[in-house]
């Protein structure tokens, strides 16, 4: 990481953003935290307090305890349906409109980027709102959620499951290929709200850097990715990203709800 103070790192990032040809944004659970979606490393709340997400989000957990896993996803699906994108999501949608090429590469399954208006989007780990047949993989639009059993596929009778990538499952080749291609092509990669613990997503920032991109981490705290980032902007994504957009394009009619015009960067948390 370059040895520079916060103000300079912020200004350098805003300048790179304003002049960027191709921006990639790798996002993790932290970008949705300000929408009220618990991160993977937050202690699970209430009913789920005693379960470890890393253990529940696996094919083995579903095979051994399908109802428990199905109910966990139903709880998360209903939680996500009840929240809204936050200014960080809207800022990324703004960047997509402002630069020649932009791609959001998200590890999140909450669908908030699309709801905020991002259309150039790779959902590396799927989407919790989608449900598919656990045997054939066909996505189903409706299922019978009555009763105490996990719903079954009407076509083949296999259990239904969330359309997400569990640990030890392969990512969709077209998703990871597109993400890696973007990492090679971009001239700026923003790494937002991720602890950088989950592969192969966590390898994308170093790939971008090896291919010449400026890599900027936006996070509340240091992560395993911090050392390889050019700049680390410490603070909430919902504050930093809108400020970067307003600084990069001070006169744009931004929809990002923050005070207008050039301002000093938000102080680190």
Q: Known catalytic residues?
A: 125
For residue 180, state whether it binds ligand BV8 (rule: CB under 6 A).
no
Select the residue interacting with ligand BV8 from 1, 220, 255, 258 (CB under 6 A).
220
- For the beta carbon of residue 212, count every other beta carbon within 10 angstroms: 10
What does the alpha-carbon distance between residue 44 and residue 186 come to, in Å, rounded to a whole number? 35
Stretch that binds ligand BV8, among 14-22, 131-139, 195-203, 209-217 (CB under 6 A): 195-203
Backbone angles phi, psi at 99, to 5 degrees: -110, 155
First to last CA, the chain: 19
Task: Give the DSSP H/E element, type plus range, for residue 232.
Answer: strand 231-234
CB 63, min distance to ligand BV8, A:
15
Q: Which of residues 85-124 bind ligand BV8 (CB under 6 A)?
A: 107-109
Residue placing its CB nearer to ligand BV8 in the complex, 122 or 164: 164
For residue 36, state whether it binds ligand BV8 (rule: CB under 6 A).
no
For residue 39, state whether it binds ligand BV8 (rule: CB under 6 A).
yes
DSSP string, 84-133: ---HHHHHHHHHHHHSSEEEEEE---S-HHHHTT--SEEETTEEEEEEEE
Residue nearest to ligand BV8 (CB): 30
Q: Which of residues 40-79 bind ligand BV8 (CB under 6 A)?
A: 40-41, 54, 57
Q: What is the dihedral of CA 211, 217, 223, 225, to 10 degrees?
A: 0
For residue 254, state whether it binds ligand BV8 (rule: CB under 6 A).
no
Select the residue interacting with ligand BV8 from 111, 193, 205, 266 (CB under 6 A).
193
Select the residue interacting with ligand BV8 from 83, 98, 158, 198 (CB under 6 A).
198
71 Cβ contact partners less than 8 Å away, ≥ 6 residues apart: none
Q: Which residues bind ligand BV8 (CB under 6 A)?
A: 28-30, 33-34, 39-41, 54, 57, 107-109, 125, 164-171, 193-195, 197-201, 218-221, 223, 236-238
């Amino acid at each position: 990481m370059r040895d520079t103070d916060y103000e300079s790192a912020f200004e350098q990032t805003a300048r790179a953003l304003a002049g960027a040809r191709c921006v990639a944004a790798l996002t993790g659970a932290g970008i949705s935290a300000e929408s009220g979606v618990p991160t993977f490393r937050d202690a699970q709340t209430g009913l789920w307090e005693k379960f470890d997400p890393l253990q529940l989000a696996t094919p083995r957990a579903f095979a051994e305890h399908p109802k428990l896993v199905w109910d966990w996803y139903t709880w998360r699906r209903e939680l996500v349906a009840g929240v809204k994108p936050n200014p960080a999501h809207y800022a990324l949608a703004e960047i997509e409109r402002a630069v020649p090429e932009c791609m959001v590469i998200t590890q999140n399954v909450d669908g908030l980027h699309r709801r905020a208006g991002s259309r150039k989007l790779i959902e590396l780990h799927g989407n919790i709102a989608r449900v598919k047949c656990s045997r054939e993989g066909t996505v189903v639009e409706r299922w019978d959620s009555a009763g105490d059993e996990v719903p079954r596929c009407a076509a083949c009778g296999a259990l239904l499951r969330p359309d997400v990538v569990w640990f030890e499952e392969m990512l969709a080749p077209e998703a990871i290929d597109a993400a890696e291609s973007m990492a090679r092509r971009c001239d700026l990669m923003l790494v937002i709200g991720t602890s950088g613990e989950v592969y192969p997503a966590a390898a994308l920032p170093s790939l971008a850097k090896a291919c010449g991109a400026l890599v900027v981490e936006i996070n509340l705290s240091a992560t395993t990715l911090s050392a390889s980032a050019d700049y680390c902007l410490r603070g909430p994504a919902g504050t930093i990203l809108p400020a970067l957009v307003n600084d990069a394009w001070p006169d744009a009619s931004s929809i990002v709800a923050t005070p207008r015009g050039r301002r000093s960067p938000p102080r680190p948390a």
